């Protein structure tokens, strides 16, 4: 605990918490107010930590949409002070535990990423493991057994104050709809310490899979096992499911678990191609569907914002999306998405010009011939069809959108 409370560790934790920002917890304090609060109260808080008497504040629970599901994901938002202490705990514990974790575990670990997990799955596919066992843990973060978790932590942590503090965080009250409840199981999603604790729990699963000689990739609670036949996959599914339910006291989602060809399954938003160019990374269909739904929302024609404002907001989203899904190996998909996005923006601009005379004037100003400008502006076609005609495509060409700052998913070869 003395190492956790060391000035250097706490300064690094404070810097990280402020960089992560986040909403205020149950006490309403923002992370920007935290430094001033600590100047006045840190000596007393530190004394409580060293004496083993510190008590966390209640956690504010919120529900956010869950991608690809009608269900809501419940997040626990600790107060800024507890976020700081949990971050300091994480910085003290992770260097000790991380070297012991499996090489096939990729989630929430320094120097590891979802892209590495997908690349490793691709390598297994190329080596002949054509089938995947997809194990989905139902409500994993809500079902973690506190006693088993703390027993596993106690194998490496000798300081009883640390174990007592971690238990206090696991059993901190949860404030939801004005009512406070005390959890008897689970780790609250949204806290800095929760991802590390999930890896501690599931490291037991990793060790069991390695003992059996199975090849797998795990990212948090998303675990895929790679085999060469359906029969081998079904055997692995049955035996590993028993281990998860009987040994780890967790529950496998019966509706989502499956044994299938890797080309038919998705892993962390990616899948793999078949056909003439097999085993290449591609964006999973559900991920593409979510992307298009978000772009439609950002470019809807009834929002009453200028095209430049829409493009600025859209480009921010595209930059983040491309940072992750640009890892795909199917450039034709990115080119098609670029074309589809520009089609929607042309449609939006055409709709905003509203009247025929304005549309004709705008086309003429952009170098369209008078005859083509007239037939385009006074056409009876709807905005979506018209935005794909030569008059509108030439007037609102790719260079026009480049000048407005629209981010391209597929960079042109001459750039």
pTM over 0.85: yes
Model pLDDT, residue 301: 84
Average pLDDT on 223-239 reads 95
Edge to edge, the sheet with strand 179-181 lists 69-77, 59-66, 174-176, 179-181
Is residue 269 pLDDT above 90, yes or no?
Answer: yes
**CA 82, CA 27: separation in Å to the nearest integer?**
11
Model pLDDT, residue 414: 54
**CA 37, CA 345: separation in Å to the nearest integer?**
48
Is residue 389 pLDDT above 80, yes or no?
Answer: yes
Model pLDDT, residue 168: 95
- Residue pLDDT, tens place only, 341-380: 999 999 999 999 989 999 999 999 999 999 999 999 999 8
Tell how strand 59-66 and strand 281-283 pair up.
unpaired
- Residue pLDDT, tens place only, 86-140: 999 999 999 999 999 999 999 999 999 999 999 999 999 999 999 999 988 888 8
Residues 6 or more apart in contact with residue 253 via CB below 8 angstroms: 136, 137, 138
Backbone angles phi, psi at 158, to 5 degrees: -90, -25
Is residue 42 pLDDT above 80, yes or no?
Answer: yes
Asked whether the beta carbons of 262 and 131 are under 8 A apart, the reply is: yes
The separation between the first and the last C-alpha atoms of the chain, rounded to the nearest angstrom, is: 54
Share the mean pLDDT of the chain: 92
Average pLDDT on 56-70 reads 82
Is residue 69 pLDDT above 70, yes or no?
Answer: no
Average pLDDT on 319-334 reads 96
Model pLDDT, residue 85: 97
**CA 154, CA 299: separation in Å to the nearest integer?**
53
Model pLDDT, residue 242: 94
Asked whether the beta carbons of 79 and 174 are under 8 A apart, the reply is: no
Is residue 276 pLDDT above 90, yes or no?
Answer: no
């Amino acid at each position: 605990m003395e190492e956790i409370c060391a000035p250097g560790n706490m300064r690094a934790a404070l810097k990280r918490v402020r960089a992560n920002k986040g909403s205020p917890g149950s006490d309403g304090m923002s992370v920007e107010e935290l430094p001033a609060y600590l100047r006045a109260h840190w000596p007393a808080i530190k004394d409580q930590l060293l004496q083993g008497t510190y008590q966390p504040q209640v956690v504010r629970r919120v529900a956010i949409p869950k991608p690809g599901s009608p269900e809501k994901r419940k997040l626990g938002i600790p107060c800024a002070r507890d976020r700081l202490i949990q971050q300091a705990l994480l910085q003290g514990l992770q260097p000790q535990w991380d070297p012991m974790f499996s090489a096939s575990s990729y989630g929430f670990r320094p120097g590891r990423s979802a892209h590495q997990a997908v690349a490793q799955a691709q390598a297994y596919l190329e080596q002949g493991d054509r089938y995947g066992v997809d194990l989905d843990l139902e409500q994993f973060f809500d079902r973690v057994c506190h006693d088993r978790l703390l027993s596993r932590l106690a194998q490496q942590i000798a300081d009883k104050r640390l174990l007592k503090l971690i238990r206090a965080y696991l059993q901190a009250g949860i404030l939801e709809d004005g009512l406070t409840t005390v959890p008897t199981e689970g780790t609250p999603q949204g806290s800095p310490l929760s991802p590390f604790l999930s890896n501690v729990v599931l490291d037991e699963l990793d060790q069991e899979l390695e003992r059996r000689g199975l090849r797998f990739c795990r990212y948090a609670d998303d675990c895929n096992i790679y085999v060469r036949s359906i029969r081998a996959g079904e055997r692995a599914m049955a035996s590993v499911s028993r281990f998860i339910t009987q040994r780890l006291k967790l529950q496998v989602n019966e509706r989502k678990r499956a044994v299938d060809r890797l080309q038919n399954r998705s892993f962390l938003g990616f899948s793999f191609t078949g056909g003439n160019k097999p085993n290449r990374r591609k964006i999973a269909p559900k991920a593409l569907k979510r992307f298009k739904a978000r772009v439609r929302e950002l470019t809807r024609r009834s929002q009453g914002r200028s095209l430049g404002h829409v493009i600025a907001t859209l480009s921010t989203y595209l930059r983040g999306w491309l940072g992750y899904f640009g890892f795909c190996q199917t450039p034709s998909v990115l080119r098609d998405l670029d074309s589809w996005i520009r089609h929607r923006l042309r449609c939006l601009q055409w709709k905003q010009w509203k009247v025929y005379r304005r549309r004709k004037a705008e086309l003429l100003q952009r170098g369209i011939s008078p005859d083509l400008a007239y037939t385009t502006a006074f056409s009876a076609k709807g905005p979506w069809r018209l935005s794909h005609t030569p008059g509108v495509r030439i007037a609102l060409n790719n260079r026009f959108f480049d000048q407005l700052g629209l981010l391209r998913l597929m960079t042109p070869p001459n750039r």
